[in-house]
């Protein structure tokens, strides 16, 4: 693809991630709740469905474009990929176990007609004791590992867009978490790093 196509892909990915964060914001959800009434219980499910469809369409378009490899794949690149993918997959699965998957996907709210489940206790156990955002770290590791298996510019653009957006996404998510959990989250921030254990 021409260079401007990759810049367009990068911009679209960044807009996608930004939209994802905006639609998850409490202020935006309250706006939809006021207008949707009892139908707001479908919000989380539709949010996930729309996000998944848009991402699949965008990724499908990206990786359908012809492009050469940035470097030759060999046993060493596959080794690096495994070193990244294995802990990434483990961390991702361990992170998902920390969630109620019914609530995470939105099916629980739909069935029980509960739009906003109550969360009064901050979970700092398991992989949350390693970093504050283990699912984000898992995503970075998996995408980096994928790049070493599929070393094309498209894969690099995807990884770069995620890395660039993460500080913004984390900032806005933690702003919401501080309001939700108060001092408990402030104490948690002092004890556990955001994304890289012992560093950041």
| Per-residue pLDDT reduced to its tens digit, 60-119 | 887 777 767 888 899 999 999 999 999 999 999 999 888 766 666 767 766 665 555 555
Q: How far apart are CA 187 and CA 143, in angstroms?
A: 31
pLDDT at res. 135: 92
Please report whether residue 184 resides in a domain: yes
pLDDT at res. 58: 83
pLDDT at res. 62: 77
CB 100 within 8 A of CB 108: yes
Residue found by looking up tokens 């939700």 in the block: 180
CB 128 within 8 A of CB 134: yes
Please report whether residue 199 resides in a domain: no
Query: How many Å is the maximal CA-CA distance in the chain?
Result: 56
pTM confidence score: 0.85
Please report whether residue 197 resides in a domain: no
pLDDT at res. 131: 95
pLDDT at res. 174: 93
Q: Which domain holds residue 61?
A: 3-191
Please report whether residue 198 resides in a domain: no
pLDDT at res. 9: 81
pLDDT at res. 117: 53
Please report whether residue 12 resides in a domain: yes
Please report whether residue 196 resides in a domain: no
Q: Helix %, strand %, coil % for the chain, to 5?
A: 75, 0, 20
Please report whether residue 200 resides in a domain: no
Please report whether residue 149 resides in a domain: yes
Query: Which residues of the chain fall below pLDDT 50?
Result: none
Domain count, the chain: 1
């Amino acid at each position: 693809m021409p260079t401007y196509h990759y810049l367009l892909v990068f911009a679209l990915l960044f807009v996608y991630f930004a939209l994802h964060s905006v639609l998850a914001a409490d202020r935006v959800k309250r706006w939809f709740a006021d207008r949707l009434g009892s139908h707001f219980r479908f919000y989380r499910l539709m949010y996930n469905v729309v996000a998944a469809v848009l991402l699949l369409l965008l990724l499908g378009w990206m990786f359908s474009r012809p492009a050469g490899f940035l470097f030759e794949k060999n046993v060493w690149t596959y080794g690096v990929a495994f070193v990244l993918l294995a802990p990434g997959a483990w961390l991702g699965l361990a992170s998902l176990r920390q969630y109620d998957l019914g609530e995470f996907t939105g099916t629980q709210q739909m069935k029980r007609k509960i739009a906003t489940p109550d969360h009064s206790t901050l979970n700092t156990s398991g992989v949350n004791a390693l970093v504050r955002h283990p699912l984000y770290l898992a995503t970075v590791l998996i995408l980096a590992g994928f790049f070493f298996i599929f070393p094309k510019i498209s894969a690099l653009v995807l990884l770069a867009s995620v890395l660039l957006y993460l500080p913004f996404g984390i900032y806005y998510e933690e702003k919401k978490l501080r309001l939700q959990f108060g001092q408990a989250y402030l104490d948690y921030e002092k004890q556990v790093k955001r994304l890289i254990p012992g560093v950041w």
